[in-house]
Amino acid sequence: MQYKIPRGTYDILPQDSRQWHKVISVFRETAQSFGYEEIVTPVFEQADLFERSSGESSDIVRKEMYRFEDRKGRIFALRPEGTAPVVRSFVENHLDATARINRLYYIGPMFRYDRPQAGRYRQFYQYGVECIGSHHPYYDAEIIALQNTFLQRLGLKGITLEINSVGCATCTKDYEQALIRFYEPQKAELCPDCLERLNNKPRRLLDCKVPHCKTISAKAPVMLDFLDADCRSHFEQVQSYLKLMNISYTINPHIVRGLDYYTHTAFEFLNNSLGAQNAVSGGGRYNGLLKQIGGMDLPAVGIAGGFERLMLSLKQEQIMPADEFRPDVYLILMGKEAIRMGIPLMNRLRQTGLAVIFDPDKASLKAQLKAADGCKARFAVIIGADEVTSGKLSVKNLDSKEQISCSFDELFRILGSPSLP
Ligand code: AMP
């Protein structure tokens, strides 16, 4: 029997893993340059954490969560998103006592039982940043700027930013009444999920992906027309910071975000050439979340993005973030004496940080030189009977094909080793 990878998951094969790690390290560097520090939480949490934070009626909780019972009957879930775990950890570890503003980032796999398609997986990798502790509109803009800088550092050009304000609990009430008045006469045409949304969370009606519901929603009233003075002013200030930071955006009044905990600013970075799964990242302000999960009443704003959609975008724009891997040395040892001389040399080379490949199985010199070319090594270092006798090494530059004879110390200099061991 041949095993198959679970549906909706994928392997990162060696030929792709360098690009993958490069993108992650560009994200880390960007987050750190904005003063954000990494927080790492487990991949599973009490299921209730997500039920309470995302909302019982959210798609994530209703349809997509990997929920399971452990051997003692406790209900856990593989994390479907990263914000609730970060906030759980923040509250549990009293991080508010460590600083007035906590700037945090995370990277890791998330799990959603969703219908797999291009850019949508059941296990996917997210990066995210959360700024906890301030309601200042500058921070909404900072989170957007961090994402924008990350995309710039990767060299991506085809991604656009859309922003909206989803208001606060007070303005939402009037807005939801307006939504009910709008949808009620067209009830018969809505999908079963939307009918439920009409009763529970009218705002979610705008998030439906069913084409006919989308056509109806296009004409629905928009939150922006219902913002109170404070929410309007907050949104205007966010925009003025974005302008100061030279970040282009458009206002899309239909961005609602799928989760319950968003307030005020909501935003999405889109790559429209990705097709249906065009959201590269999205986020917003979530002032109510900490309190909602039993913590202190602190405002916060964050964003989460998927590495897969970034990798697809990079491929589309033909950007290769990482250099191809080239070993420094392919070591060829012909015979027992050569092994005695060459293995300690190999150790020294590796200790200085040089990449060395050695294959004791390969027999002929010709076959080994071919393998050295095949793995794109910079140099072949050859020790055979002559070298054992003379105590010198043969070094072949595999780009220029030039070959010389040299001492051990000269070899380190040729290789540009940072230090002679
Ligand atoms: P969300 O938490 O749904 O706003 O997702 C934030 C980002 O995570 C999206 O913009 C995507 O880039 C990524 N993402 C969400 N769900 C998936 C998925 N099933 N597969 C791949 N990426 C995803």
The pLDDT tens digits of the residues spanning 240-291 come to 999 999 999 999 998 887 667 789 999 999 998 888 889 999 999 999 899 9
pLDDT recorded at residue 342? 96
Sign of CA dihedral 252, 60, 124, 316: negative
- Assess whether 275 and 365 both reside in one domain: no
Distances (CA, A) of 325 to 29, 113, 397: 21, 35, 17
Return the CATH number at 340.
3.40.50.800
Residue 110 Cβ < 6 Å to ligand 1: no
For the chain, first and last CA: distance in Å?
50
Phi, psi of 227 (to 5 degrees): -65, 140
Q: Which amino acid, 357?
A: I
Token pair for residue 87? 């906030």
Query: Which of 316, 346, 370 is at the close of a domain?
Result: 316
- Assess whether 126 and 261 both reside in one domain: yes
Query: Which of 53-57, 160-164, 169-173, 301-305 is predicted least confidently?
Result: 53-57
Give the nearest ligand 1 atom to 304 CA.
6
Atom 13 of ligand 1: nearest residue by CA position: 306
pLDDT recorded at residue 31? 98
pLDDT recorded at residue 419? 47
Spacing, Cα 258 to ligand 1 middle (Å): 11
pLDDT recorded at residue 258? 66
- Assess whether 43 and 132 both reside in one domain: yes
Structure confidence by residue, pLDDT tens digits, 342-385: 999 999 999 999 999 999 996 799 999 999 999 999 999 999 99
Distances (CA, A) of 63 to 58, 114, 260: 8, 8, 15
- Assess whether 89 and 232 both reside in one domain: yes
Spacing, Cα 231 to ligand 1 middle (Å): 27
Give the nearest ligand 1 atom to 81 CA.
2
Q: How many residues does the chain have?
A: 421
Is residue 25 included in any domain, yes or no?
yes
Residue 126 Cβ < 6 Å to ligand 1: yes
Most ligand 1 atoms within 8 A of CB, residue of 144, 281, 303 to mutate? 281
Spacing, Cα 199 to ligand 1 middle (Å): 27
Residue 308 Cβ < 6 Å to ligand 1: yes
Percent with pLDDT over 90 in the chain? 79
Return the CATH number at 89.
3.30.930.10
Specify the 3-state DSSP secondary structure of 373: helix
Residue 201 Cβ < 6 Å to ligand 1: no
pLDDT recorded at residue 421? 42
Name the β-bridge partners of 45: 77
Q: Are 301 and 265 in contact (CB under 8 A)?
A: yes
Is residue 363 included in any domain, yes or no?
yes
pLDDT bracket for residue 417 (50, 70, 90): low
Residue 283 Cβ < 6 Å to ligand 1: no
- Assess whether 303 and 411 both reside in one domain: no
Is residue 28 included in any domain, yes or no?
yes
Total domains present in the chain = 2
Query: Which of 265, 293, 316 is at the close of a domain?
Result: 316
Sign of CA dihedral 273, 275, 276, 280: negative
pLDDT recorded at residue 420? 44
Query: Which of 79-88, 197-206, 389-398 is predicted least confidently?
Result: 197-206
- Assess whether 255 and 383 both reside in one domain: no
Alpha-carbon distance of 29 to 170, in angstroms, equals 39
- Assess whether 21 and 151 both reside in one domain: yes
Q: Are 253 and 164 in contact (CB under 8 A)?
A: yes
Alpha-carbon distance of 381 to 395, in angstroms, equals 5
Domain extent at residue 56: 14-171+227-316
Specify the 3-state DSSP secondary structure of 324: coil
**Residue from 268, 315, 269, 309 nearest 119 by CA:** 309
Give the nearest ligand 1 atom to 309 CA.
12
Query: Which of 316, 349, 369 is at the close of a domain?
Result: 316
- Assess whether 280 and 336 both reside in one domain: no
Is residue 214 included in any domain, yes or no?
no
Alpha-carbon distance of 140 to 131, in angstroms, equals 9
Residue 302 Cβ < 6 Å to ligand 1: no
Residue 108 Cβ < 6 Å to ligand 1: no
Spacing, Cα 305 to ligand 1 middle (Å): 6
Higher pLDDT, 256 or 83: 83
- Assess whether 140 and 165 both reside in one domain: yes
Name the β-bridge partners of 104: 37, 130
Spacing, Cα 114 to ligand 1 middle (Å): 11
- Assess whether 108 and 21 both reside in one domain: yes
Spacing, Cα 181 to ligand 1 middle (Å): 32
Structure confidence by residue, pLDDT tens digits, 163-208: 999 999 888 888 889 999 999 999 899 999 898 888 888 888 887 8
| Residue whose entry in the numeric block shows the structure tokens 């039920």 | 51
| Residue whose entry in the numeric block shows the structure tokens 């460590």 | 98
Is residue 6 included in any domain, yes or no?
no
Token pair for residue 230? 């404070």
Q: Which amino acid, 393?
A: L
Is residue 209 included in any domain, yes or no?
no
Residue 305 Cβ < 6 Å to ligand 1: yes
Is residue 24 included in any domain, yes or no?
yes
Structure confidence by residue, pLDDT tens digits, 315-343: 999 998 888 899 999 999 999 999 999 99
- Assess whether 46 and 93 both reside in one domain: yes
Distances (CA, A) of 45 to 69, 294, 306: 11, 15, 20
Is residue 205 included in any domain, yes or no?
no
Spacing, Cα 333 to ligand 1 middle (Å): 50
Atom 3 of ligand 1: nearest residue by CA position: 258
- Assess whether 303 and 258 both reside in one domain: yes
Average pLDDT of the chain to the nearest whole number: 93
